[in-house]
């Protein structure tokens, strides 16, 4: 009995921590312009006005959503294609200085991103890349890659070592052994990694805030941070909360559906030491 009560208390604290801010974002987005200041835990007269506001006019959130889907989607595809190959090589092929290769890849995932912002801004200006998708996709791939390799490395090393040998006995070259035998078995890991890389690209703010100037390339994170609506004096928090819900909910749905795999991916890579 006491154990059950303690469990309930722990559960309540964790639920409050994780869910209350999200709940507050949803509730605030449903309150009308006058009710939003009331701090009532439930909207007295729920309305979708805020959602109408963000999907009309010159700053329609649909542009930013389109940009985010294109940028994060392209980043995920490229990072996975390139990263799966590299992770396989790092995990299962004979490689001189494996530790050094892995160390460099790891260092590339943890350097402060601000370090490449001033030089890239100058280079992208020269190349006419400011406010284009590639100005975001290419750096994002380089951010997502080390992470993808790091997680996939863990998956590839868990597979039995006899796989390639058996494939080679059957006459496969190393490349066909990778494509036909190992890759299908690692598919769940690749899928999980894709979700994680997509989340990283979808959530990025620093480079997006630097290189995307207009609706042509501005992703949702920047659109929300810069959202001013019609009023210039005060931040219109109602519409901003509505935009936050729109941007977050698809991500949460994906994450909740695949939570077991995602937790596996996040921790498998992290705990190999």
Partner 1 sequence: MAVTMQTAERRLGRRLLLPTTVLLVLMVGYPIVWALRLSLYSDSITGATRFLGLDNYTRALWGADAERFWSAAWNTALFTVTAGGLELVIGVAMALVMHHLGAFRGPVRAMILVPWAIPTAVAAVLWQWMLTPNGIVNDLLGRQILWTGETTAARAAIVLVDVWKTAPFVGLLVLAGLQLIPKELYESAKMDGAGALRRFTSVTLPLVAPAILVAMLFRILDLMRLYDTPAILTNGANGTTTLSLFTYQEAIDQVRFGYGSALSTLTFMLVFGVALLVIRGCGVKVFETGEGRR
State which of positions 40-79 bind partner 1 (CB under 8 A): none
| Cβ distance to partner 1 smaller for residue 174 or 188 | 174
Contact 167, 180 (CB under 8 A): yes
Which of 69, 206, 215, 261 binds partner 1 (CB under 8 A)? It is: 206
> Contact between 251 and partner 1 (CB under 8 A)?
yes
> Contact between 271 and partner 1 (CB under 8 A)?
yes
> Contact between 85 and partner 1 (CB under 8 A)?
yes
Largest CA distance in the chain: 74
Contact 259, 196 (CB under 8 A): no
| Cβ distance to partner 1 smaller for residue 62 or 106 | 106
d(C-alpha 22, C-alpha 249), whole Å: 10
Instruction: Using the rule CB under 8 A, give the single segment among 46-54, 58-66, 92-100, 184-192 that binds partner 1.
Output: 92-100
> Contact between 123 and partner 1 (CB under 8 A)?
yes
d(C-alpha 236, C-alpha 224), whole Å: 11
Contact 198, 140 (CB under 8 A): no
Please state the closest distance from residue 2 (CB atom) to partner 1, in A. Answer: 13
Q: Which of residues 4-23 bind partner 1 (CB under 8 A)?
A: 7-8, 10-11, 13-15, 17-19, 21-22
Please state the closest distance from residue 45 (CB atom) to partner 1, in A. Answer: 19
> Contact between 209 and partner 1 (CB under 8 A)?
yes
Please state the closest distance from residue 149 (CB atom) to partner 1, in A. Answer: 7
Which of 70, 116, 163, 215 binds partner 1 (CB under 8 A)? It is: 116
- φ, ψ for residue 221 (rounded to 5)? -60, -45
> Contact between 229 and partner 1 (CB under 8 A)?
no
Which of 48, 62, 106, 216 binds partner 1 (CB under 8 A)? It is: 106
> Contact between 105 and partner 1 (CB under 8 A)?
yes
> Contact between 127 and partner 1 (CB under 8 A)?
no
Please state the closest distance from residue 55 (CB atom) to partner 1, in A. Answer: 17
| Cβ distance to partner 1 smaller for residue 45 or 256 | 256
Which of 121, 131, 215, 261 binds partner 1 (CB under 8 A)? It is: 121
Instruction: Using the rule CB under 8 A, give the single segment among 2-10, 43-51, 53-61, 183-191 that binds partner 1.
Output: 2-10
């Amino acid at each position: 009995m006491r154990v059950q009560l303690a469990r309930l208390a722990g559960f309540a604290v964790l639920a409050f921590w994780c869910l209350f801010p999200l709940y507050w974002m949803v509730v605030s987005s449903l309150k009308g312009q006058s009710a939003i200041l009331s701090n009532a835990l439930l909207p007295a007269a729920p309305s979708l006005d805020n959602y109408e506001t963000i999907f009309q006019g010159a700053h329609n959130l649909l542009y930013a959503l389109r940009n985010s889907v294109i940028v994060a989607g392209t980043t995920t595809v490229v990072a996975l294609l390139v990263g799966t190959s590299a992770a396989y090589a790092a995990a299962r092929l004979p490689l001189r200085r494996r530790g050094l290769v892995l160390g460099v890849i790891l260092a590339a995932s943890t350097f402060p991103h601000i370090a490449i912002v001033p030089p890239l801004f100058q280079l992208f200006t020269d190349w006419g890349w400011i406010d284009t998708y590639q100005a975001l996709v290419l750096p994002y791939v380089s951010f997502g890659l080390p992470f993808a390799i790091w997680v996939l490395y863990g998956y590839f090393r868990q597979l039995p070592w006899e796989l390639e040998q058996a494939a080679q006995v059957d006459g496969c070259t190393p490349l066909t052994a990778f494509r036909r035998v190992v890759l299908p078995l690692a598919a769940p890991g690749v899928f999980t990694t894709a979700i994680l890389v997509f989340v990283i690209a979808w959530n990025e703010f620093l480079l997006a805030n630097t290189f995307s100037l207009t609706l042509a390339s501005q992703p949702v994170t920047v659109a929300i941070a810069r959202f001013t609506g019609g009023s210039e004096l005060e931040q219109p928090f109602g519409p901003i909360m509505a935009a936050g819900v729109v941007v977050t909910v698809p991500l949460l749905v994906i994450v909740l559906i695949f939570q077991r795999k995602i937790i596996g991916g996040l921790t498998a890579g992290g705990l190999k030491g």
